Structure 1
């Protein structure tokens, strides 16, 4: 039985309620909450749906799933994002990450800029990430990257990894933390939340999603910062071009053009499969209290192949807090 759950944003925003999505065609998917809150569009997955998704992803289907190509934008679209007015306060907000579980080694960032190197998924901060398996509305199987951010129960990924941006959710979502040539911690997803502007219109300035999981991360979680307060960072992902999408890679890059709605990463594009992977700044080899912040994510590219992320702002922070509070309650 599918259980419909109402989702609330606690009155933090004043945008109109998002329209009701359509069920994925030709595939069994979760039921929409039916009462998308102002400023947040969420879908709750009941226990039967979560169990079905885990059962759906056999080893054979995991091998068949194709790394998702990141969306591309035209120069005209990019200019719109760069010149668009700010939609949230330009205030730096911070949530600290975990120091890592007991017995987990710490990993230093690669010192090579622009060249992907394999990341150790058994070491923080990379142990927070993993591979997201999804079924599109047309039935195609694909993979993205996701990671725990702000909490041991909240995943971050790109919105285009969970919805088509036209009012429909994708189906059979399942996450494997620490995936490396198979294996890892399989984690069910309880509630998926995205900004209504992306869910209804595919607005790339809002191409991020936060997901409340049904169990804790055993690999820790990343911190979170808004307003891109760093000049360089590393991005992570499961790129098809490196490791055939079967292992996590990291690549270093630097801050490029910054607009009110978008941020450019120079020299850090890894292509298909890496979409949804976090931009991690201030990587600490021996993290104690600070460092390892998610400040953006792999969301889309231009023809120049540089990577872009929505600019995390007060709206992003607010959405993350709502998901951390599990305001879209699950059974």
Structure 2
């Protein structure tokens, strides 16, 4: 099916015939296919001027979305999925010249060693939301050294469909060795993420970003259907390390329901959104949302064939 291309002003979708002189600085396109929505983000040299050391420190860690009572009820009572018995789709990791990580104590976040995989691939994602407020999430390179994985709620407003702006990725923050931040010029989400409702579609809360510069620490692989019982999560949670140091925690796969997965013994919350769940240097999920019914757990969308389709459409419509 031929994709539909819309003019995009300030990341707000309008019909091409309604295009008028913009009153904002950013322009781009939105490409809509059945599998993915691709949003181009104009390259903005001024963003590095905007992200002063003070603004980086003052950016608010993105609150972790919370499941509603209905969401919790459905998750607890719906028939559990057994996708781990299904063949997984796999994209291989890109290894830097660094050793692989070892084990840790389950359920206790600790500072990550950013010199080794999987942490060398990751960093802190800064952005400005549609209200002009500076926030931060977590992200990491996956599949290749020019594609980031994060949570959809860190890049696109699910109600308006507006992409956030002034994206700045700082790999291995705060240890960036004086390097400039990495800019993104193209975003990819599942079309179901924008639902014009305040109820987030948690089962598709993943997004990909094409970057202008390459990773300095390799890239994770990408694997569907969470085929492993033991998981390692990473991110920049405000409740551990004050959001200023990358944290890592070992946990276990819990139930899978309604195309969402629970990771037990993962107590990271605000700011950790978008940080990967990994095993053997494959990303198999992301920190997406939390529930008061499971206070030491995080939830992720299930990476299925639809998630892989979004990744592949990024490769098609956002050439490196």
TM-score of the superposed pair, with normalisation by structure 2 = 0.85
Whole-angstrom distance in 1 between the partners of 2:185 and 2:171: 15
Partner of 2:226: 228
Whole-angstrom distance in 2 between the partners of 1:234 and 1:52: 36
Partner of 2:192: 197
Partner of 1:315: 306
Q: CA deviation at 1:115?
A: 0.2
Q: CA deviation at 1:30?
A: 4.0
Do the aligned residues in 1 keep the contact of 2:31 with 2:39 (CA within 8 Å)? Answer: no
Do the aligned residues in 2 keep the contact of 1:264 with 1:309 (CA within 8 Å)? Answer: yes
Do the aligned residues in 2 keep the contact of 1:129 with 1:145 (CA within 8 Å)? Answer: yes
Whole-angstrom distance in 2 between the partners of 1:158 and 1:67: 13
Whole-angstrom distance in 1 between the partners of 2:288 and 2:308: 17
Do the aligned residues in 2 keep the contact of 1:154 with 1:212 (CA within 8 Å)? Answer: yes
Partner of 2:141: 148
Partner of 2:118: 125
Tell me, what secondary structure is at the counterpart of 2:46? helix
Where do 1:85-100 residues align within 5 Å?
A: 91-100=87-96
Partner of 1:177: 171
Q: CA deviation at 1:52?
A: 2.5
Whole-angstrom distance in 1 between the partners of 2:28 and 2:195: 14
- Does residue 67 of the first structure (1) align with residue 61 of the second (2)? yes
| Structure 2: runs of 5+ lacking an equivalent | 13-22
Residues 284-304 of structure 1 show CA distances to partners (whole Å, capped at 9, x for unaligned) of: xxxxxxxx1100000001112
Whole-angstrom distance in 1 between the partners of 2:319 and 2:101: 37
Residues 278-330 of structure 1 show CA distances to partners (whole Å, capped at 9, x for unaligned) of: 00112xxxxxxxxx11000000011123200000000111111222x251358
Tell me, what secondary structure is at the counterpart of 1:160? helix
Whole-angstrom distance in 1 between the partners of 2:167 and 2:42: 13
Whole-angstrom distance in 1 between the partners of 2:142 and 2:25: 25
- Does residue 39 of the first structure (1) align with residue 31 of the second (2)? no
Whole-angstrom distance in 1 between the partners of 2:4 and 2:287: 28
Partner of 2:217: 219
Tell me, what secondary structure is at the counterpart of 1:255? strand
- Does residue 302 of the first structure (1) align with residue 291 of the second (2)? yes
Residues 159-218 of structure 1 show CA distances to partners (whole Å, capped at 9, x for unaligned) of: 000112012111111101111266564211020111111133431110000011111111
Tell me, what secondary structure is at the counterpart of 2:317? coil
Whole-angstrom distance in 1 between the partners of 2:184 and 2:251: 31
Tell me, what secondary structure is at the counterpart of 1:114? coil
- 265, 271, 274: which one pairs with 1:273? 271
Q: CA deviation at 1:260?
A: 4.3
Partner of 1:6: none
Q: CA deviation at 1:136?
A: 1.1
Change (3 A) 1:144 1:230: same
Residues 115-170 of structure 1 show CA distances to partners (whole Å, capped at 9, x for unaligned) of: 00110112222110000001111111110000001111100000000112012111
Structure 1 moving runs of 4+ over 3 Å: 16-25, 27-30, 78-86, 181-185
Q: CA deviation at 1:40?
A: 1.3
**Which segment drifts farther, 172-181 or 186-195?**
172-181
Change (3 A) 1:184 1:231: farther
- Does residue 23 of the first structure (1) align with residue 10 of the second (2)? yes
Whole-angstrom distance in 2 between the partners of 1:264 and 1:19: 36
| Structure 1: runs of 5+ lacking an equivalent | 1-10, 283-291
User: What's the Cα RMSD here?
Assistant: 2.8
- Does residue 327 of the first structure (1) align with residue 314 of the second (2)? no
